[in-house]
Amino acid sequence: MVQFEAPAGPQPGRRRPTFPATTDAERSDDRSVMARQGRWATWWRGGGPVTVAFLVPMLLAFGLFSWWPIVRTAVMAFQQTNLVEPAHWVGFANFRHVLTDPLLPTALRNTAIFAGLAFLFGYPIPLLLAIAMSDLRRMRGLFAVLAYLPVVVPPAVAVLLWQFFYDASGGGVFNTVLGWFGLGPVPWLVSSHWVLPSLVLEATWAAAGGTVIIYLAALTTVPKELYDAAQVDGAGIWRKLVHVTLPHLRTIMLVTLILQIIGTAQVFLEPYLFTDGGPDNASLTVLLLIYNYAFGSTTGGGDYGDATALSLLLAVGLAVLSWVYFRLTRSWSDS
Amino acid sequence: MKTSRLRAAALSTTAVVVATVALAGCGSSNDDASGKGTVTITVEGWRPGDQQATIDYVKQQAAAFHKLHPDITVVPKEWQWNAQTFPAQLAGGTLPISFRVPFTDTKGLVERHQVADVDKEIRALPYFDELNPNVLAAAEGTDGKVYGLPSDVYANALHYNRQLFAEAGLDPDQPPTTWDEVRADAKAIHDKTGQAGFGEMTKSNTGGWILTTLTYAMGGRVESEDGKTATLDNPGTEQALQLLHDMRWQDQSISANNSYDWAGVNQAFAAGKLGMFVSGSDVYNALVTTDKIDPKEYGLAAIPLTDSADAGALGGGSVNVVSAKATPAQAKAAVEWADFFRVKKYTDQDAAVADAKAQTASKQPVGTPTFPIFDQASYTNYQTWIKDYVNVPLDQMKGYTDSMFSLKLISEPPVQTQGVYGVLDPVVQKVLSDKDADIPSLLQEANQKAQQLLDQG
C-alpha cells in the first residue's frame, strides 16, 4: 500500500499554529486560564475559524443531502409509512417481506448475470483499448476523444439510439448488418435469452470511455526505460504487456474492478429505460425491484418500507463485498 | 490580508448556505392560513407544456369560481399525475389540494390513506344518485366510502389506421366487430403492407391493463367481485393470450418488435406502423396533441365482444381526489371546485360551451368520444351543446359511437389493480417472446402471485 507520510522537520510554506508550552501553566490556575485564552487566540489567529467556516457548508450539504437520507433510509427500513400519517415501527417485517418475495431471486440472478457478463466483456475492453491507444504514435488524442464520446451522450438519448439498433424486426440496424451475412434476425430486447447480453453491450459502449481515460493516464506512469530494457532482453509485445504494463496497472485495475462490481450491482438505467424489467422479468434487477416497490410498476408501489429495506440489504451486501475484496487483494495491490 | 479575505469568503458562503437552509425550512407554509373564514386551495390547473390559452382559461374559471364562492380562493398550479413524483410531493407539501388520479391508481392511494376521505361531501352533490354506478365504483374504496369525483371517463376501444386498412384492401368504414375479424384484418394488413397488423402494450403495467381489457371482452374476470380471489386463470384470459400468441407466431401480424407502453404504442400507431391497437376511447386527444397523427388516418371502433353474457368493455378515467393533508374546509372546497370545473359542464350548458370554446381556441381536440359519466340523455345533451365546436373526425369514430350506449362498461379489478396488472405484464411478454410459452401454467403461476397480493389487501 502506498503510504503518505509527512516529512520530518519543518515544512516550508505551510502554516501551522504553534501552541505555547503548557507544562508550566499547569502549576497554577491563573496561568492555566491564560494559557487556554492563549490557545484560543492562537487558534483564531492561526486560521481556525476559516477551517471551520470552510468545513460548515460541506458538512451541511453532505449532512442534509447525503448522510441524513442514509440515516432516514435505515430508519424507514423498519417502519411502515404513507408519508402522511406518522410512521409506525414494524420490526423486521419489511425485511421478511422482501426476502420472501419470489421476484427477489429473479432480480438477484439477473443482476449477477449482468455483472458477470459486464466483467467478461466490459472489463477487459477498456483496458485493451487503452493499451492499444497508448501504443499509437499519432492521433492518440483523437482516439481518446472518440472513445470518450459515448460518455458525453446523455444516457436517455443513448438508450433511444440503441433502441433503433436493437429493433427486433429484420429492419433494425444490427439485424440488417447480420442479414448481410445470412444471420439473424436476433430478437435483441424482446427475448429473455438475449435481453441481458444486449443491455451489457450498450452499457459497455456507454461506460468504457471513462475507464479508458483512467487507464491511459495510468499508462503514462509506466517508465519507458522498462520497455526498452525488456526489448533489449528480447521481449515481444505480449511479454512486455504481461511483465511490464499489467503489473504497473494492477493497483488501478483493482480499483476499477471493484468500482465496476459496485456499479453493475446497482444497474438500473438500462433495464428501466429499455425494457422496464421485461420480457417476463428477464431483465428485472435488484435496483429496479427497489424502484418498483416504492414507485410502482410491478408491485403497485407505495411500499417505501420494503424499498428501503432492500436498499439497506444491498448497501450492506456491497459494503461486505468491498471489504472482503480489499482484504483478499491487499497483498496483490501492494506495490 | 489574504487570510482575512479567505475568512470573509468562507464566512459569507456559510451564511448563504445557512440562510438557504433556513428559507427552505420556511417554504412549506400552510395554504390554509389565509384569513378569517376564508379558505385557499391549490388545484391541478394545466399540464406542463400546455398553451397559454389553456392556462388563461383555467385562471378565468378559478376567478369565476371565486365569484360564486367568495370565501374560497382557488390557486391553479401546473401539474400532471405522476406516480413517481407523487410521494415526494405529498411528503414535501407541494401537492395540490385537488388533483386527478387515473382509475388504476385510485384504490392504491385509498389503501395507503394518501387521499382524504370526502365521502360526505361527494354524496351531498345534487347529482350523486345519477352518477353511473360503474363509473362511481372507481372512486370507491374497499370500505364502500367514496374518495373522489370521477371525470374524463372512457371505455377501452379499438383504434385502427384507415390508411393501412385501405392499402390492405379492407374497407376503412367497416372495422372488425369480432375477434376473428380482428385477427383476419391484422393478418391482411401485415401480408399486404408489411406493417404490424396489431400492436399490444406490454410494459409498465399496460400489458396487464390491456390483457384485462381483452379478458373482459371475452367474458372473463381477473378478480372476484369482492376482490378477495384472483381469477387470472380464467378461460377469457387464456383465450385472449392464445389470440395474441397466434397473431404473433402464426400470422406474424404482431411484430417481433412489439414492446410498448402507453406512450410508445401511441407513437408507433401515429407513425403508421400499426394497423390496430386497444386503448382508451379518448386516446385520440394524445395522438393529436403529442404524436401529431394525421386525422384522416384515424379510425375508432368499439372493442369486439364475444357472445358471453359477461363480456364488456373495461372502463377508465380519472378521479378528482383531495390531498390527505387538506384540512376539512379545504377538502370541502376542493370537492366544490372539482364539481364546478370538471363535472358541471355535463349538466350545465353555459359551462359546456365555455369549456369547448376555450379548447377550440387553444387548438385542442373537441368532441372526442368519452363515456357517459351519468346516463345517455345527459351525454347526448352535452354533445348537442358543444356541437358547433367539435373539431374531431366524428364520422370516422362511428364504429364506437354507434354502439357506445349499449356497451357494458366493467370496472377495473377492485383490489390491488396495479399489482394485478403488474403480475400480468410478464405473462403477455412471455407469450409474445416465446413461441412455446405454456399459457395455462403461466396463468396458474401468475394467479398465485396475484392471490398473494390480494391476501395483503
Give the mean model confidence (pLDDT) for residues B166-195. Answer: 96
Nearest to A50 among B6, B18, B90 (CB): B6
Chain A residues with CB-CB distance to B202 below 8 A: 278-279
For residues A53, A59, A65, A71, the Cα torsion angle rounded to the nearest 10 degrees is -150
| Nearest CA-CA distance, residue A102 and chain B, Å | 9
Residue A40 has a pLDDT of 87
Q: Does residue B7 register a pLDDT over 80? A: no
Q: What is the mean pLDDT of residues A108-113?
A: 96
Does an H or E element contain B214, and which? helix B206-217
**SS3 of B271, please?**
coil
- Please give the pLDDT value at position B193: 95
d(CA A142, CA B34): 63
pLDDT (average), residues A245-257: 90
Is the predicted pLDDT of residue A119 greater than 70, yes or no? Answer: yes
- Provide the shortest C-alpha distance from residue B425 to chain A (in Å): 7
Check if A179 contacts B (Cβ < 8 Å). Answer: no
Q: How far apart are CA B56 and CA B211, in angstroms?
A: 40
pLDDT at residue B29 tops 50 = no
pLDDT band at B47 (very low <50, low <70, confident <90, very high): confident
The size of the A-B interface in CB pairs under 8 A is 131
**Mean model confidence pLDDT for chain A:** 85
Q: Is the pLDDT of residue B90 over 90?
A: no
Phi and psi at residue B260, to the nearest 5°: -130, 150
Identify the closest residue of chain A to B86 by CA–CA distance.
A295
Task: Provide the pLDDT confidence category of residue A5 given band limits of 50, 70 and 90.
Answer: very low
Q: What does the pLDDT read at residue B149?
A: 95
Grid cell at residue A208: 468504457
Return the residue in A44, A101, A190 with the most chain B beta carbons within 10 A, the one to mutate for interface testing.
A190
Q: Do A300 and B433 touch (CB under 8 A)?
A: no
Whether the pLDDT of residue A3 is over 70: the answer is no
Q: Given an 8 Å threshold on Cβ–Cβ distance, is A53 in contact with B202?
A: no
B445: nearest CA in chain A?
A: A102
What residues of B are in contact with residue A279 (Cβ under 8 Å)?
202, 259, 426, 429-430, 432-433
Name every chain A residue with its beta carbon within 8 A of the beta carbon of B204.
276, 297
Indicate the residue of B14, B17, B433 with minimum beta-carbon distance to A190. Answer: B433
Query: Does A183 touch chain B if contact means CB atoms closer than 8 Å?
Result: no
- Around B414, how many Cα atoms within 13 Å sit in the side-chain half-sphere? 17
Of A64, A83, A279, the CB nearest to B433: A279
Q: What angle do CA A156, A160, A166 make, to 5 degrees?
A: 135
Decide if A42 touches B, using CB distance below 8 A: no
User: Rounded distance, CA B1 to CA A332, Å?
Assistant: 49
Region of residue B227 (left: phi > 0; alpha: psi -120 to 50; beta: else): left
Question: What does the pLDDT look like over B210-234, one tens digit per residue?
Answer: 999 999 999 999 999 888 999 999 9
pLDDT band at A17 (very low <50, low <70, confident <90, very high): very low
CB contact (8 A) between residue B113 and residue A301: no
Quote the minimal CA–CA distance from B220 to chain A in Å.
22
Q: How far is B53 from chain A (nearest CA, A)?
A: 32
On the question of pLDDT at B28 being above 90, the answer is: no
- Which one of A169, A188, A289 makes the best mutation probe of the B interface by having the most chain B beta carbons within 10 Å? A169
Q: Among candidates B144, B61, B142, which has minimal Cα distance to B338? A: B61
Q: How far apart are CA A41 and CA A33, in angstroms?
A: 12
Of residues B116 and A172, which shows the higher confidence score? B116
CA distance A17 to chain B (A): 14
A260 contacts B385 by C-beta, under 8 angstroms: no
Angle between helices A173-180 and A155-165 in degrees, nearest 10: 40
Grid coordinates representing A301 are: 408501489
Q: Do A49 and B325 touch (CB under 8 A)?
A: no
Question: For position B231, what pLDDT does the model report?
Answer: 97
- Mean pLDDT over A301-311 rounds to 89
DSSP-derived pairing of the beta strands B274-280 and B72-78: unpaired
Which residue in A50, A276, A280 is closest to B430 by CB distance? A280
Tell whether the model's pLDDT for residue A296 goes beyond 70.
Answer: no
Once rounded to an integer, what is the mean pLDDT over residues A282-288? 95
Query: Rounded distance, CA B199 to CA B260, Å?
Result: 8
Instruction: Test A60 with B17 for CB contact under 8 angstroms.
Output: yes
> Among B209, B348, B191, which Cα is nearest to B280's?
B209
Chain B residues within an 8 Å CB radius of A192: 430, 433-434
B185-206 average pLDDT score: 94
C-alpha cell at A105: 431471486
pLDDT single digits (tens) B271-294: 999 999 999 998 998 898 788 899
**Residue B60 binned pLDDT confidence (cut-offs 50, 70, 90):** confident
Query: Is residue A289 predicted with pLDDT exceeding 80?
Result: yes
Query: H or E element: which one contains B199?
Result: strand B196-199
Query: Is A102 at the interface with chain B, CB within 8 A?
Result: yes
Mean pLDDT of B73-89: 85
Examine the predicted complex and report whether its ipTM is higher than 0.90: no
Return the CATH number of B154-314+395-456, one of 3.50.50.60, 3.30.465.10, 3.40.30.10, 3.40.190.10.
3.40.190.10
In this prediction, residue B8 carries a pLDDT of: 53
Cell 451486501 sits at which residue?
A317
Considering only alpha carbons, which residue of chain A is nearest residue B5? A50
Q: Residue B351: CA atoms inside 13 Å, Cβ hemisphere, count?
A: 17
Q: Pick the residue of B81, B110, B112 with the most A CBs within 10 A to test the interface with A by mutation.
A: B112
Cα(B373)–Cα(B344) distance, integer angstroms: 11
Tell me what the mean pLDDT of segment A129-156 comes to.
88
- Contact across the interface for A190 and B83, Cβ inside 8 Å: no
3-state helix/strand/coil string of chain A: CCCCCCCCCCCCCCCCCCCCCCCCHHHCHHHHHHHHHHHHHHHHHCCHHHHHHHHHHHHHHHHHHHHHHHHHHHHHCCEECCCCCCCEECCCHHHHHHHCCCHHHHHHHHHHHHHHHHHHHHCHHHHHHHHHHHCCCCCHHHHHHHHHHHHHCCHHHHHHHHHHHCCCCCCCHHHHHHHHCCCCCCCCCCCCCCHHHHHHHHHHHHHHHHHHHHHHHHHCCCCHHHHHHHHHCCCCHHHHHHHHHHHHHHHHHHHHHHHHHHHHHCCCHHHHHHHCCCCCCCCCCHHHHHHHHHHCCCCCCCCHHHHHHHHHHHHHHHHHHHHHHHHHCHHHHCC
In tens, the pLDDT along B397-415 reads 999 999 888 888 888 888 8
Dihedral, A121, A126, A128, A131 alpha carbons, nearest 10: -170
Cβ-proximal residues to B116 (8 Å cutoff; 6+ apart), any chain: B147, B321, B322, B323, B324, B326, B331
- Mapped onto helix, strand or coil, the DSSP state of residue B408 is coil
Contact A299 B3 (CB under 8 A): no
Residue from B97, B113, B429, B444 whose CB has the most chain A CBs within 10 Å, to mutate: B429
Report, as an integer, the average pLDDT of A263-283: 91
CA A189/CA B131 separation, integer angstroms: 45
pTM: 0.77
Q: Which residues on chain A are in Cβ contact (under 8 Å) with B325?
A: 84
| Mean pLDDT of the region B29-53 | 71
Instruction: Using CA coordinates, name the residue in chain B closest to A48.
Output: B7
The three three-digit cell numbers of residue B136, written as one number = 362511481
Residue A192 near residue A280, CB atoms below 8 Å? yes
Higher pLDDT, B200 or B370: B200
Cis, peptide link before residue A247, omega less than 30° from 0: no
| A59 shares contact with chain B (CB less than 8 Å) | no
Q: What's the confidence (pLDDT) of residue B17?
A: 46
Answer whether residue A301 shows pLDDT above 60: yes
C-alpha to C-alpha distance for A23 and B411, rounded to whole angstroms: 86
Looking at beta carbons, which residues of chain B come within 8 Å of A83? 87, 90-91, 114
Residue B324 pLDDT exceeds 60: yes
Question: Which tops the pLDDT comparison, A39 or B189?
Answer: B189
In terms of DSSP bridges, do strands B313-322 and B409-410 run parallel, antiparallel, or are they unpaired? parallel
Cross-strand bridge partners of residue B158: B278, B301
**For B15-19, what is the mean pLDDT?**
47
Section A25-36 average pLDDT: 64
The domain locations on chain B are 15-153+316-392, 154-314+395-456
Mutate to test the interface with B, among A84, A160, A166, A268 (most CBs of B within 10 A): A84
User: In this model, does residue B22 exceed pLDDT 50?
Assistant: no
Percent of chain A with pLDDT over 70: 88
Backbone angles phi, psi at B154, to 5 degrees: -145, 165
**Cβ separation of A295 and B83 shorter than 8 Å?**
yes
Residue of B nearest to A283 (CA): B426
Q: What Å distances lie between residue B252 and A185, B187, B199, B246, B258, CA to CA?
A: 14, 7, 11, 8, 11
Cell digits for A217?
Answer: 493516464
Amino acid symbol at A100: T
Residue A160, chain B, CB below 8 Å: the answer is no
Note whether A63 contacts B: Cβ–Cβ < 8 A. Answer: no
Q: Is the pLDDT of residue A20 over 80?
A: no
The answer to whether the CB of B185 falls within 8 A of the CB of B171 is: no
Cell of B145: 366510502
> Which residue bears the cell 453493475?
A264
Whether B30 shows a pLDDT value over 70: the answer reads: no
* Mean pLDDT computed over A8-20: 45
* pLDDT, mean over chain B: 87
Q: Where are the alpha helices (DSSP H) in B29-178?
A: 52-68, 86-92, 103-111, 119-123, 133-136, 162-167
**Residue A322, class by beta-carbon neighbours within 10 Å (0-12 exposed, 13-18 middle, 19+ buried)?**
middle
A64 vs B: CB within 8 A:
yes
Residue B132 clears pLDDT 90, i.e. is over it:
no
Q: Give B239-260 pLDDT, tens digit per residue.
A: 999 999 999 999 999 998 888 9
pLDDT in the model for residue B373: 87
Q: What is the pLDDT of residue B290?
A: 80
B145 near B269, Cβ under 8 Å? no
Q: Which residues pair with B149 in a beta bridge?
A: B320
Cα separations in angstroms, A159 against A151, A156, A165, A273 = 12, 5, 10, 7
Q: Give me the mean pLDDT over the A314-324 stretch.
A: 95
Chain B: residue whose CA lies nearest to A54: B10
Q: Which CATH class is domain B15-153+316-392?
A: alpha beta
pLDDT at position B36: 52
- Nearest to B41, CA basis, from B104, B118, B131: B118
Instruction: Report how far residue B46's alpha carbon sits from residue B65's, in angstroms, rounded to the nearest whole number.
Output: 16
Candidates B257, B417, B428, B444, partner chain A, best to mutate (most A CBs within 10 A): B257
Residue B4 pLDDT:
53
**Predicted local confidence at residue B375, as pLDDT:** 84
List the single range of A132-136, A172-176, B30-34, B79-83 with lowest mean pLDDT: B30-34
Residues B163 and B297: their CA atoms lie apart, in Å, by: 5
* B15-153+316-392 and B154-314+395-456: identical CATH topology: yes
| Confidence at A12, pLDDT banded by 50, 70, 90 | very low
Q: What are phi and psi of A79, to 5 degrees?
A: -125, 165
- Answer yes or no: do B204 and A297 touch at CB < 8 A: yes
Say which residue, A112 or B13, is predicted with more confidence. Answer: A112
- B13 and A300 within 8 Å at the Cβ level: the answer is no
CB contact under 8 A, A302 and B112: yes
Residue B12: pLDDT above 70? no
Cell 384484418 found at: B185
The mean pLDDT value for B324-332 works out to: 94
Q: How confident is the model at residue B32 (pLDDT cuts 50, 70, 90)?
A: very low
